[in-house]
Amino acid sequence: MVNDVLKIGGESISPGETKKIELKMPPLYTATNMSIPIYVKRGKRPGPTMFVSAAIHGDELNGIEIVGRLIRSKAITSIKGTLIAVPMVNVYGVLNQSRYLPDRRDLNRSFPGNKKGSLAGRLANLFLKEVVSKCDVGIDLHTGAIHRSNLPQIRADLDNEEVLEMAKAFGVPVLLNAELRDGSLREAAKENGVKILLYEAGQALRYDELSIRAGVKGIINTMRHLGMLSKSRSKPSRKAHEIKQFIARQSGWVRASDSGFVTHLAQLGDHVAVGDKLAVIADPFGNHLNYILSPAEGVIIGKQNIPLTQEGEAVYHIAYFSRPGTVAEHVELLQDNLLPPEQSTLESYSVENPYEK
């Protein structure tokens, strides 16, 4: 991207400038003005233009903290090119602690949108035209849905060599080759020639320290890979060197066979084999109804947290790898590398199964 004057929302940002912008969006019916907060940092030297966006789903809050820490990080003091950081895209959803917009539409199914369309379409069009289309690359930050947690992972078009190298540079163990969804930001970005990574980690309406730290570090790693930042002078720890990436080209949700109360036996990052017991389903009297079993070998990258389920509800998300046991080991290394010793143990823990015969 040529380092001339950049314009966002009618505001000009020249090379070497840092500016906070309020991108106007439709007001509330109370006549309260609304805007998307945007932080722009431009280096004096030429380089790529990258956007980092969070809270396209308004209840996915981890990304807001990631963007805040990124902006405050000394690592980005001197950059080449331009960083456009957007802590909240769906400001309406953040205000209402809701995944959706006030019109109940999903913003991430509304791209490319239309400036004369629905509220979702107008907001999607505004963000695409004012931010995304002016970039070379982007990182979109997400979490699991409400009552669901995701293991830190990158989802992207890994068949694109440049995107694959960006995904590897991010530095989390699990890379998922994900198909484009109609109306998604990823689809719109690709159609505009923008290479994009989607970072998934944590759960809605909650901060997760591991997910946040991995996100901040991953973005900085990616910026270094793209030449926007100088290579780190500090020597990486042995554990950091040992963390590898594993690509999953297939994943699937395991669903509950019965309605009832769930006791989880498997947790995020666990390696599971065919037939492993993932959870126990019981009735209100504590009587065993059934087990949720793993249909294949893989690593758990997503799970439901609430101990209630309806028959057919998705409870575990499993990524399928050729060497899942190795993946689980590298998930542990990621945690050891990012969290203090007292927090470095996996979320998983041994659960005594009261229904075991």
What is residue 115's predicted lDDT score, i.e. its pLDDT? 95
Helix axes 324-338, 209-225, angle to 10 degrees: 100
Q: Which CATH class is domain 250-343?
A: mainly beta
- Look at residue 263 and tell me whether its pLDDT is greater than 90: yes
| pLDDT per residue as tens digits for the range 17-76 | 999 999 999 999 999 999 999 999 999 999 999 999 999 999 999 999 999 999 999 999
What is residue 346's predicted lDDT score, i.e. its pLDDT? 41
Identify whether the C-beta of residue 42 lies closer than 8 Å to the C-beta of residue 14: yes
pTM, full prediction: 0.90
pLDDT band at 1 (very low <50, low <70, confident <90, very high): very low
Q: Cα–Cα distance between 167 and 188 in angstroms, integer? A: 19
| pLDDT per residue as tens digits for the range 288-315 | 999 999 999 999 999 999 999 999 999 9
Burial class (CB in 10 A: 0-12, 13-18, 19+), 116: exposed
- Look at residue 8 and tell me whether its pLDDT is greater than 70: yes
Q: Cα–Cα distance between 21 and 38 in angstroms, integer? A: 5
Place of tokens 């070497």: 16
What is residue 89's predicted lDDT score, i.e. its pLDDT? 98
Domain ranges of the chain: 6-234, 250-343
CA dihedral (149, 154, 159, 160) positive or negative: positive
- Look at residue 139 and tell me whether its pLDDT is greater than 50: yes
Residues whose CB is less than 8 angstroms from the CB of residue 311 and which lie 6 or more positions away in sequence, other chains included: 256, 257, 258, 259
Mean pLDDT, residues 325-346: 65
Q: Which DSSP symbol is given to 36?
A: E
Q: Cα–Cα distance between 340 and 59 in angstroms, integer? A: 27
CA dihedral (128, 131, 136, 141) positive or negative: negative
pLDDT band at 355 (very low <50, low <70, confident <90, very high): very low
The CATH code for residues 6-234 is 3.40.630.10
Q: Which helix (H) or strand (E) holds 284?
A: none
Beta-bridged to residue 316, according to DSSP, are 254, 303
